[in-house]
Structure 1
């Protein structure tokens, strides 16, 4: 295991079986469970995944990421890695093999996606973190990770409204956001 886990929460997480349709992940020593996503979420994942060229990148869903020095095993909505760096098997993909992670915000994941995971992914040195936010109809592109632990952060941040292309330089592509839907009747938030 690559994550620091003094309380044994990772072992506990391995042993529990969440109900069908529930995702469980370890974020800074806290087990967080999320219900099945909204259709808007799933369609954004689909539209994003289809734009990533499989000959250069594998966009993986439900892939646990291990981060050295972190008591965390996040499960991003999409993990993007080069096919030639992937291990033959295993549940935990080391963060140093990951080029990009994508999270789609839901009304219950706003704080985790914008604050907690931002710091965790930066601590893992993941070059690109893309937050797709159907509440605010925007994408937040985070690059240039630096720091350790809770002080880790991304030094570059760009906010792009839905309908505008997102320059995913580390993947060598521009992400078309024109097909991304929004969540109706959800109160706006103040992030990032």
Structure 2
């Protein structure tokens, strides 16, 4: 479900009021959301996302386990359910990727939504309710934030795509493999993800 937020007009007197009203609506929906539901604000729209199904969660867990088991840098940590503030994704840019990889200690504060600058990789696993955002607005937001790698597990297409080299609001490189193949995460990761385990 998506609720459209007001469009921002260039440098008007009411800009701060508009941001405040969107923040208020976002906070109210976040507080009212049933357990397991997520509320995200992406490119000016508030999205209320239902809990993921078992297959989705199995894939997220499998990727997280493979990263933990194969990482060469012991300081890398994999997180799920971590909120990020992604500049340019919307007026407030609040998103919750399925997977975040960053160095240990990158988010040792009390914030709900964090600065994405330490993030080395974000991952999304598509669902019927999120696929459009995962392939479009979120991808553009992650690129604009300068997150070096975006791993998209596209269940509809039956493939995994690794996007890299962000420039502006897009990634300039991509590598895709069909489910059952391996996809290489380059330096600083230097290991393969086996999608046959999905």
TM-score range relative to shorter protein: 0.7 to 0.9
Secondary structure of the structure 1 residue equivalent to 2:123? strand
The root-mean-square deviation of aligned C-alpha atoms, in Å, is: 1.9
CA distance in 2, matches of 1:136, 1:25: 24
When normalised by structure 2's length, the TM-score is 0.80
User: 1:173 aligned to 2:191?
Assistant: yes
Q: 1:85 aligns with which of 79, 86, 106?
A: 106
User: 1:28 aligned to 2:40?
Assistant: no
Write out per-residue CA displacement over residues 99-118 of structure 1, whole angstroms, 9 at most, x where no aligned residue. 11000001222211111111
CA distance in 1, matches of 2:19, 2:121: 29
CA distance in 2, matches of 1:156, 1:63: 26
CA distance in 1, matches of 2:23, 2:80: 20
Secondary structure of the structure 2 residue equivalent to 1:171? coil
How far off is 1:24 after superposition? 0.8
How far off is 1:88 after superposition? 3.4
- Matches for 1:15-164 after TM superposition, within 5 Å: 15-16=28-29, 17-53=32-68, 55-71=74-90, 72-147=93-168, 152-164=169-181
How far off is 1:56 after superposition? 2.9
Secondary structure of the structure 1 residue equivalent to 2:81? coil
Structure 2, unmatched stretches of 5+, are 1-14
How far off is 1:11 after superposition? 4.1
How many residues matched?
A: 173
**Distance change in 2, residues 1:137/1:30 (3 Å):** same
How far off is 1:70 after superposition? 4.2
Secondary structure of the structure 1 residue equivalent to 2:195? coil
Higher relative contact order (CA 8 A, sep 6+): 1
CA distance in 1, matches of 2:189, 2:108: 20
8 Å contact kept, 1:10–1:26? no
The residue number in structure 1 matching 2:11 is: none
